[in-house]
Structures are given as C-alpha cells and as structure tokens.
Amino acid sequence: MTHALPQRVTSIALRPEVWRDLHRAIGQSNRSRTEVCRLLAGTESNGHAVAAVSAECQNLSASETRFSLPVSDFERARASARSQGLTVLALVHTHPFGVARQSLADLDLPRTTGLLSVIAAMEDGVVRVACYGFFRNLIRPVRVEFLASS
C-alpha cells in the first residue's frame, strides 16, 4: 500500500466528525487493549490538509502493540474518497498502552505508505494526537489542528 501526497504537508486539520471518530477509536482501543486503525480522507492544498472523513480499518495483527491492515481496506477507503472528490491523506492508529508519539515500529510508516502517520492516545485522561510525514528523506512532525463545529 503506497500512496504519495503531492507535496510536503505542514499541517492537517481534523473536522469535528473525524475528531469524534478518533475519540471513539481511542475508547475502543483502550477497552480492547489493541491498536485501532483508521484512514483519513480529505483535501490538500498548499501544504495544508483537511481530513473530512474517517474510514475504519480492520487490524489483522494479534499483537497488542502492533497493527496490520488489509490492502482491501485501503482500496475501499480510496475508492470511497475518490467518489467524494477526496484523497486518502493519513493512516491513523492508536496507542492503548502509550503516548501519542512514534514507537520504533512506527518510524517507517510515512515513508513506506506515502501517507501522513497520525497517532492517537489517551494520556492522563486527555486525548492526544500527533502526526508525522516523510519529506525530503526525513520523518518530520506535522501540526494537527481541530476545526470547530459550524
């Protein structure tokens, strides 16, 4: 599964529906004690992405601290996004036992997928979200913003 964003993305804004879905994913992750996966689709322009929809993905991994999603989930999310005039922007996964930072296993995700890598976790009762992208042969942080309800 590879998909390249057209340019360096420096920020991603999460629409309220996406933010609510990430909250649900973290709750599910903490209850099941496994990583939960999503794909985010939306638009990108001038280095700024807006995630408009979230697609749930199956985690094929039996490990509590790893995830693996079926290519068919990516293909389904991409087809759905395209039908709405959107593109798949990011691969999201939760850290039920940790913090919203890349683990050693996560470091290569943005390079191998061509997508932004979003990590969500509950830290001290607060949902935290981090995002990373692969640009100019380096993993770089991407600012996460939350859009207000309209």
Our count of domains for the chain comes to 1
Q: Would you say residue 64 lies in a domain?
A: yes
pLDDT in tens, 45-58: 999 999 999 988 88
Q: Would you say residue 32 lies in a domain?
A: yes
Q: Would you say residue 3 lies in a domain?
A: no
* Local structure of 111: helix, strand or coil: helix
Q: What is the CATH number of the domain that holds 95?
A: 3.40.140.10
The conformational region for residue 85 under phi > 0 = left, psi -120 to 50 = alpha, else beta, is left
The answer on pLDDT for 118 being more than 90 is yes
Domain containing 33 equals 11-146
Q: Would you say residue 131 lies in a domain?
A: yes
Q: Would you say residue 6 lies in a domain?
A: no
Per-residue pLDDT, 64? 67
Burial of 45 (0-12, 13-18, 19+ CB in 10 A): exposed
pLDDT in tens, 48-89: 999 999 988 887 776 666 777 778 888 998 999 999 999 999
Predicted TM-score (pTM) of this structure: 0.87
Residues in the chain: 150
Q: Would you say residue 123 lies in a domain?
A: yes
Q: Would you say residue 95 lies in a domain?
A: yes
Q: Would you say residue 2 lies in a domain?
A: no
